Each structure stands twice: as structure tokens, then as C-alpha cells.
Amino acid sequence: MLDRLAELQEEALKQIETTTDLRALNDIRVSYLGKKGPITEVLKGMGKLSAEERPKVGEVANKVREAITLAIEEKLAALEKAEVEKRLASETIDVTLPGRPVRKGSHHPLTAIIEEIEDLFIGMGYTIAEGPEVEKDYYNFEALNLPKGHPARDMQDSFYITEETLLRTQTSPMQVRTMEKHNGKGPVKIICPGKVYRRDNDDATHSHQFTQIEGLVVDENIRMSDLKGTLTVFAQKMFGADRKIRLRPSFFPFTEPSVEMDISCKICNGEGCNVCKGTGWIEILGAGMVHPNVLEMAGFDSKKYTGFAFGMGPERIAMLKYGIEDIRNFYINDRRFIEQFKRA
Ligand code: DAH
């Protein structure tokens, strides 16, 4: 019996040794250590042994069992480790591969134009003012010399929120808000960029939301010639040193006199072409001397102070500067359009 046990152990260990997969190893365990296995079989025959032999054989049988169990456990661990290593090898990450490039954004062309204009005016001593897009009727119209029922209100179809509040139709209300803050004392010298809203149907030249930049200078002895000089510098820096400007009489309720400014057409140099519709001039902005009523309503003594104001549309300026034909391009966020204005 002892021989048989030694034989079984040797046989089992050899098999375990040469196994290369987990399933075969499990089969070995079942066949040697299971209830119908040869060791159990040997133990069953123990009843025929003498009382002295029995514990000896029992002891050896247990040792054989332990040896086989241990061998199986070791093999199991080795096979599992090999398995993991194989998986790791086949799933390695190549850290030297180049990563996916991160796509860089770019300035929106309107932001770029607005910042360019801001820089230009900051260089002339202006500060930037910003104000609410949801505005009081009082600031958007009344304090700008447009009382309720004034026909010129119709030029700016508005989105009203309540009877007294609306989405501002222009950045001009910031003239009033700024002057109020100055408590009747000059000088005031600001530009105010921002979004404005009008109830227009969108097409190539209209957008229900667009941007404006307002300018306001109030002090003693401010004259029309100051306005003209400022706008000439602006036009030449923006559109080229050889641009000429011209002021045409116009009407705005908050300025008197009011003008519209044209620049000489860059495409034809004033000869007349499609872009300037044969006139040689292109309209750029509205401006004028601040109306005494506006000064007074905002707390300034109109006998002591005078001022000029102007308002322009960055979309229009960008369209002229870059030859953009449809205002909707600014708002549909097509990257093929926006990315053309990437700054160096
Ligand atoms: N707010 C005017 C508009 O939206 C533009 C404008 C004209 C502003 C003349 C001014 C100005 O400050 O003096 O049509």
C-alpha cells in the first residue's frame, strides 16, 4: 500500500509538472483527490490492515494528498500569473505614440474687431464702459430725447419685456448712465461696446441681435472739429492712412447737429464701384454733438458743457474690412468662416 501511494504521488506530480493549462490541471485534481480517485480507493482498503499499520498508512496517505494539493496550488498560481502576463503583453499601451492633437479655438472675428477698436480708442485716452442689455425704456429712449410716442422710436423696433423694460436697441443708453455717474462734472471720455437687439427679420444685412460701439466725450469747449479729428484718426487707423472721411448732415434725436460719416471707398479709391454703389463713399457710422436736452437730463449744465457722440456697428466695419457679404456669417458659428480670422 505504501508503495502504491508513493507511485501515485510520483505519477500525479509528473502530470502536474507538465500541464500547461488550467482546465487540465483541474482534471488532475479531480482524478487524484476526488471521491472516486485512487487515493480514496487506497484508503478504503485500510480496514484490512493491522492496528499498527493503519496509522502509518493514514499518515503517508495524508502526506501524499498534501503534496499533490500543494503542487496543484503552485501550478495554479504559476499558470494564472502566466495568463496575466500574456494579457498584459498583448494589451500594452505604446506611450511613444503621438497623442491626438487638441484643436485650438480662435477669436471670433467680431471680438477681434471690437478689441482692435477698443485698443485704438484707449490709445486716445478713452476708457471702456459696459452696461446692461436689459435696459429701462427711460435710458434707451426717453433720456436720449425720444419721449414716448416719438416717431423716431419706430426706426428701432424693440423687444419689450415689460412696459418699462426692453432689450436695448442701441448702446446709446450708456451715454446717459455714464453721465449720471459723473454728477455733472467733466471730462467724460468713454466708448461702450456691446450687444443690441431689434425686431428685424434676419437677412444678409439684418440680424435681430448685433453689436454696437458707442462713443461719448463731454467737457468744456468740445467742438464739431474735435469729433471730425477723432473720427479721421479712427478711419485711417482702421481702413488705411489714405482714407478720406466726409460728414453728411443727418438726424438723430440725441444729437444736434447730427451727421453720418462716410469713408472713401477702398476698392475703387473713390472712383465709384459696386461696393460703394458708384458713389465713391461708404457709410460707416452716425455721430453728432450731444443734444442739450440729453446733457441736461443726465445732470450736465449745457451752457458750460458740450460733447460729441458716435455710434458704429462692428459687423458693418468687419464686413467692409474683410469683404464679408452676409451678416449671418457672424452668428451661425461655421468654423470654416471663423477660423479664417485666427490671429497670429
Ligand atoms: N444709436 C444710433 C443707432 O443705433 C447710432 C448713433 C448715432 C449713436 C449717432 C450715436 C450718435 O452716439 O451720435 O442708430
pLDDT tier for residue 111 given thresholds of 50, 70 and 90: very high
Atom of ligand 1 nearest to the CA of 214: 12
Q: Write the residue with the smallest CA distance to atom 4 of ligand 1.
A: 170
pLDDT given at position 187: 97
252 lines ligand 1 (CB under 6 A): yes
pLDDT tier for residue 254 given thresholds of 50, 70 and 90: very high
Whole-prediction pTM: 0.72
Q: Write the residue with the smallest CA distance to atom 12 of ligand 1.
A: 310
What is the average pLDDT score of the chain? 91
pLDDT given at position 138: 97
Q: Which residue in 242, 286, 248, 249 sits closest to 264, CA to CA? A: 242
Bigger pLDDT: 151 or 135? Answer: 135
Measure the CA–CA gap between 330 and 113, rounded to whole angstroms. 12
pLDDT tier for residue 343 given thresholds of 50, 70 and 90: low
Q: Write the residue with the smallest CA distance to atom 5 of ligand 1.
A: 311
Measure the CA–CA gap between 120 and 132, rounded to whole angstroms. 24
What DSSP character marks residue 267? T
State yes or no: 256 annotated in a binding site.
Answer: yes
What value does the mean pLDDT take over residues 154-168?
A: 91
pLDDT given at position 344: 55
CA of 338 from ligand 1 middle (Å) equals 28
Percent above pLDDT 70 for the chain = 99
pLDDT given at position 175: 98
Bigger pLDDT: 303 or 271? Answer: 303
Contacts of 297 (CB under 8 A, 6+ apart): 142, 143, 145, 176
∠ Cα 229 123 248 (to 5°): 25
Atom of ligand 1 nearest to the CA of 175: 12
Measure the CA–CA gap between 18 and 32, rounded to whole angstroms. 16
